[in-house]
Each structure stands twice: as structure tokens, then as C-alpha cells.
Structure 1
Amino acid sequence: MNIVQKRKLWTSISCAIIVLGIVLAFTRGLNFGIDFTGGTLMEIDLKEYVETSQVRNITDKIDPSASIMHIGEEKHIVQIRTTENLDNEARIKIFNEFKDKYNLDEQDLVRSEQFGPAIGREIRNKALISILLATIGMLIYISIRFELSYGISAIIALIHDVLIVLSVYSIFRIPINSPFVAAILTVVGYSINDSIVVFDRIRENIKTVTKKDYVAIANDSIKQTISRSINTSLTTLISIIALYILGVEAIKDFTLPLLVGILAGTYSSIFIASPIWVLLKERGNI
């Protein structure tokens, strides 16, 4: 298993995805959801549970990317969130379609309003600050617990994971909203875990050799921990996939970036973090 020797291949794969995502983000922009762009929110009591696909038969006329959620104790209330700024006349027109189809009354329009992106900006800014503080804290901890080379490698792998998730969202035009921010913060905490497991094994193995062959040490450490990393990620992914398949749309908004992030985190802990550590050790006394 010569993973470290093939680091250019692994790096090229990641760079290709990230560069494509960045280029598309700059050329056509990220698909920000209503939490960041502002838009329109409507809540309609349909008196019964109605499948999302049936609701979309009406909402797709105004915005095919509108977010649909079922709320309330019995999931009879449908919440429609769209980035389109619909005036009062347009909102009434939409409600009238639901009213005619499901025999509703005027009071069944529970909520109808427009709002701006101010809350989204606040969420974004706090998320960036949280990620920055978490990154600095992890760098300090890993540098003290191990040494600086481990800390730098782990943080680069962490940045890689976040960029991969953002790139996937950019490439496939998936809406970025509040659950996405929460998922990214979860990925930041989760993805560092596998890297630390590999680094801990490297630290133990490096004590038992007289010749500091960093490539061989890293390869042996990856080989000894790879089954643990893959099995741990698989059990986590099974739970998240079940949530994605069976959950409501709000849960899917949270679990999708988790799926991508955990896959990226498992990949980076094996193919990115350790090769970077070897590179740092070979090029200087870090």
C-alpha cells in the first residue's frame, strides 16, 4: 500500500474538484437559499398531510427550487420558502390555488410574509467566526499534543473537506441554507477525528524506528488504521443515509452536506493529511 508515494494523484483529484467548484462559483454564483438571499415565506394549513410532490405541482410555477416543509403536530401545515420576492397579490394568487384544490378557508393561510437577507448574513458571519475559532483551537491543541507539523497537516485536511463540500454544492447547484451551515460546523468537528487517529499511530510508530523513513512510517500507520477509519465512517454514513431517505426536507438539508463532508473527511485523513505531514517533515524541521 503506497499511498504516500501517490500523493500527487490524490492531490490532483481533490484539486480538480475544488478548482471546478470555485470556477463555477465565480462564473454562475453559489445557489444561496432563502436564509441568505431573502424572499417569501408562506404557511398554509391544508387540513391533511399532502405529499411534497403534490405541493410542488403548484409551487413549481413560481420557483422550482422552493423549499417545502411540513410542520405542526400532524404535519398538516405546509411551509413554502422561496427566494422569489412575491408581493401580496402574488401570494394571494398562490394561496387561492391551494384553496380551490383543497377546499380551504381564508384563515387557513397561517402566515404570509417577505423578509430580507439580514438574518442570513448574521448566520454566515457567525459561522465563519465559529469555524475560524475552532480551527485555531484545534491547531493549538494538536500542536501541543503532537507537534506543529501534525497540526498544520490536520488543518489543511480540514480546509480540504470544507472546500470539497462547497465545491459539490457549487457544481450541482444545491441550495445553501441554515442547515448547511450547521452541517459544515459538524463536519469540521468530525473530519479532524480520523486524522488524529492516523497521527496518533504515526507518533507511536516513529518511536520504534531508528531510521526516520517518514514515507514508510506514514504508509504503515495508514495501513494499521484504515479499516478502523472506513468502518467508523460507514456506520455513521448508514445512519445519515437512513435519515436522508426517511427524513423530511429540513432533515435532508442537514444530512446531505454531512454525507459529502464525512466522505471527504475519510478520504482526506487517508490520502491528504498523512502525505502532507510527510512533505512537511521531509522539507524542514517543523
Structure 2
Amino acid sequence: MELFKPGKVYDFMRVRRFWITLSLSLAFASLISLFWPGPNYGTDFRGGTEIEVAFKKKIDSSAVRHAVVASGQFSEPDVIEVQDPSHPARFLIRVQEISTVDEQTKEALKKALCLGFEGAADDANCPVSARATEVKFSAGGDKLGVRYDVEPDLAKIKGQVTSIPGVKLRAGGSDNPQVVNPRDHRVEIQLQSKGDQLMDVLKQQLGPEVAPDSALRVEWVGPRAGKQLRDSARNSVALAIVFIMLYLAFRFDLRFAPGVVIACVHDALVVLGAFVLFKKEVTLSTIAAVLTIVGYSMNDTVVVYDRIRENLGKHRGKSFGDIINLSVSETLSRTILTSGATMLSVLAFFIWGTGVIKDFAFAMVVGIVAGTYSSIYVAAPLTEWIDRRMSRGGGTTAVKKRLRAAKA
């Protein structure tokens, strides 16, 4: 399918300075925005506790934020409204607190559970049936694994745990604590998590007629895990770009590789800059979208490069700039059709999607636009500039000289 008249050649290179200046400005502004004001990292990268709730009545984000702060149990929360027609009062609430059990509370719990106690067997506070020989805390601090030498007294153990100020058992059943391994006398004790406490705060501050009965979703990530995820995400994008450069240098010519790499970096920066500008969360899904965009941009650029290489052999009398104009004009219909079809697909998710899907689609929409024009106005002009700089004599470009040598 041809959208443009066959044989028509458009002078893209004539306006390359404007587009290159615009691209450099966008990339530079995006790079600055990553340091100030900085990206809005999600729980995946920053660490913290995040709950997603749907209130029973319409409420604004400021009222939710005030309710959390007024409790005095949490730092200033991030409250984000989620657009969802089925839940008109749906919010994401994120706090920096992760565990309900700090080091001081852990030591108090160990002491209350009589860990390492060597007193008399008939001691009322630490009978043998409630004398722990091993206590392990989960990463989030909301679960304890306790081991005993004899059959444990669950009622006594429950009293030991609840005797610590600020420690509460998770509600929802009578089997807490419970024996999870009768043979080894292992007991599991579930404590209230920060998510549970956050739900209690909403019910106390807003009332049961407004606050939801339960959360739609509860997640937490520790600060160390968040840093590891952030480093891994950065490394994955960098490695993808490096291997793309090696692939292009092997398939085409070393002069072609920098153009597509700069185009891919440009597209990734523009997407991240758009996330900072619109104050959207940068999560693992965002990194997945950036990697998708890098691959999409490279694919589009390779199609243009392939046609440039083909036309370099056909039209030996033309300058490299004329070859680029001809090649881009010949692939323009394909580029618009491919980008248009992809754009229609992601626009549906962007318009009607919610939550993570909507943000992923937003990244794809921005990336498709940036990737399409960067193939024409970033990668190709940069390749022409590099070739011109490396050319040595006679007005014949270095790429043409290499092609002639290969055919000789």
C-alpha cells in the first residue's frame, strides 16, 4: 500500500538542522529533569508500602492524605487517583514505612517468646510449651516463624506476642498463631503489616461508611531491593543499547552504529522526560516500555539503513544526503503504516486502560512518535555527518568507497 506518489522524493535533509536542534533540546531537557525535579519512582524502585483502595463514596486526594497524616503513624503519603469507571473513588496510597517491627521491637519479641530462656520448667511466664528455641522474622516484619522443642501452647504464645506495645496480630481468623509443622513444632505468627495499619487508619479517620472494607492490592518493597531493581533496570537499558550498536556495526558499517544508538538514547530520554513532566510513576513496567521502544526504534532505523545501503550501490553519482532523501522517501509509506497501526493499538490501552497498563501505553505513545522521527532526523543525518567527517578526498563518501571495494 502506497500513501505517497511512487518516485516522489522529499528533501528531508534540508530541514534536518531544525529537527536536530529540537531533538537535542528535548533530550537535554529530559536529562536535566532526571536530576531536577527527578523522576517519581514507584514502590518498585524507592521502597515502601503501597495499597490500592476503592472508597465507598467519592472523596478527593487531599482528604485521604490528611487522614493518613492525622494518624501520626505515617510520613507524608503519596496519594494518586486512579481513573477507573467501575471504581470512581479509586486511589493508590504509598508511604515510606515498610515494616511494623523495628530492631528494638524484634528484641522485645524474642524476649517475650522466651528465646534462649534457661529458667525452671514450671516458670509461669516461660513454660516449656511456650519457650522458643528459634525465632525468624520475614523480610517485611509481618510474619514470625517460631520453633519449639515440645508441642506449643498457642494461647500462651498469643499472649506473649500481644504483650509487646504496638504489636498486633493480623485479624481475620482464630488460627493465628497456628502450627505449620507439627513434627518440628513450628509455629507461624502473622502480625499486622503496614498495609493493615494503613487500612485501620482510613477506617478510623474517615469512618466505615467511606473507607473500604479491604484493600484491592497491597505491595511492599524494601529499600535494598528497590535499589537493586533500580540498578538492574539502568543496566538492562545500557546493555540493550550496547548490543544494538554491536549488531549494527556487524550488519552494516561502523559508521551506521552511532546514529541508531544516539536515536535509541534520545527516544529513551524523551519518554522518561515525559514521565517526569506529567508526574507519572517510573516503575518496572516503565522500564519494560523503554526497552520495547528501544527495540522498536532500532527496527525502524534498520529498515531505513537497509534501503540506504541498497541505494548506495544503485546510485553511485548521488551524494550521501540525496541517498538519504531517496531512501527515506521510499520507506515513508511503510514507516507511517507500521507506526500508525502500532499507535492505534496502544492508544486503545491509553484511553480505556487503567493503572499500570495506562502508563505503559503512555510510554509507548510517546516512544512511537519519538522513535519514528528520530529514525529520519537523528539517525540518518548523524550517519551522513560521520561519513562526511571520515571521508578522505574526491567528493566520494567513505561508505561508497567501501561498497565499491567490496564489489571489486
Bigger shift: residues 272-281 or 89-98: 89-98
State the partner residue of 2:340. Answer: 234
State the partner residue of 1:92. Answer: 200
State the partner residue of 1:25. Answer: 34
More helix by proportion, 1 or 2? 1
Indicate which of 16, 19, 22 corresponds to 2:25.
16
Q: Cα gap change, 1:8/1:100 in structure 2, threshold over 3 Å: closer, same or farther? A: same
- Once the two structures are superposed, the pairs formed by residues 101-112 of structure 1 within 5 Å of their partners are 101=209, 108=214
Q: Within 2, Cα distance between the matches of 1:58 and 1:201?
A: 58
Higher relative contact order, structure no. (Cα contacts within 8 Å, ≥ 6 residues apart): 1
Contact 1:34 1:81 in 2 (8 A): no
Indicate which of 300, 307, 315 corresponds to 1:209.
315
State the partner residue of 1:40. Answer: 49
Per-residue Cα deviation, 1:224-262 (whole angstroms, up to 9, x for no partner): 111211111111111101011111212112111111111
Determine whether 1:66 maps to 2:174: no
Q: Within 1, Cα distance between the matches of 2:283 and 2:65?
A: 19
Per-residue Cα deviation, 1:160-179 (whole angstroms, up to 9, x for no partner): 11111122223333221221
Contact 2:43 2:221 in 1 (8 A): no
Q: Cα gap change, 1:59/1:85 in structure 2, threshold over 3 Å: closer, same or farther? A: farther
Contact 1:59 1:66 in 2 (8 A): yes
Cα distance, 1:24 vs structure 2: 3.6
Q: Within 1, Cα distance between the matches of 2:212 and 2:14?
A: 66
Q: Within 2, Cα distance between the matches of 1:111 and 1:201?
A: 50
Q: Cα gap change, 1:113/1:128 in structure 2, threshold over 3 Å: closer, same or farther? A: closer
Contact 1:36 1:118 in 2 (8 A): no
Larger Rg: 2
Q: Within 1, Cα distance between the matches of 2:19 and 2:212?
A: 57
* Equivalent AA in structure 1 for residue 333 of structure 2: S
Q: TM-score, normalised by structure 1?
A: 0.82
Contact 2:53 2:212 in 1 (8 A): no
- Once the two structures are superposed, the pairs formed by residues 217-232 of structure 1 within 5 Å of their partners are 217-232=323-338
State the partner residue of 1:257. Answer: 363
State the partner residue of 1:82. Answer: 94
State the partner residue of 1:133. Answer: 239
Per-residue Cα deviation, 1:124-183 (whole angstroms, up to 9, x for no partner): 222222222222222122112111111221111111111111222233332212211111
Unaligned runs of 5+ in 2: 1-9, 69-75, 101-193, 391-397, 400-408
Unaligned runs of 5+ in 1: none
Q: Cα gap change, 1:10/1:112 in structure 2, threshold over 3 Å: closer, same or farther? A: closer
Cα distance, 1:39 vs structure 2: 2.7
Contact 1:5 1:215 in 2 (8 A): no
State the partner residue of 2:12. Answer: 3
Q: Within 2, Cα distance between the matches of 1:128 and 1:112?
A: 26
Q: Cα gap change, 1:191/1:66 in structure 2, threshold over 3 Å: closer, same or farther? A: farther
Q: Within 2, Cα distance between the matches of 1:27 and 1:240?
A: 29
Q: Within 1, Cα distance between the matches of 2:348 and 2:270?
A: 23
Cα distance, 1:208 vs structure 2: 0.8
Contact 2:53 2:216 in 1 (8 A): yes
Contact 2:61 2:80 in 1 (8 A): no
Cα distance, 1:215 vs structure 2: 0.4
Cα distance, 1:204 vs structure 2: 0.7
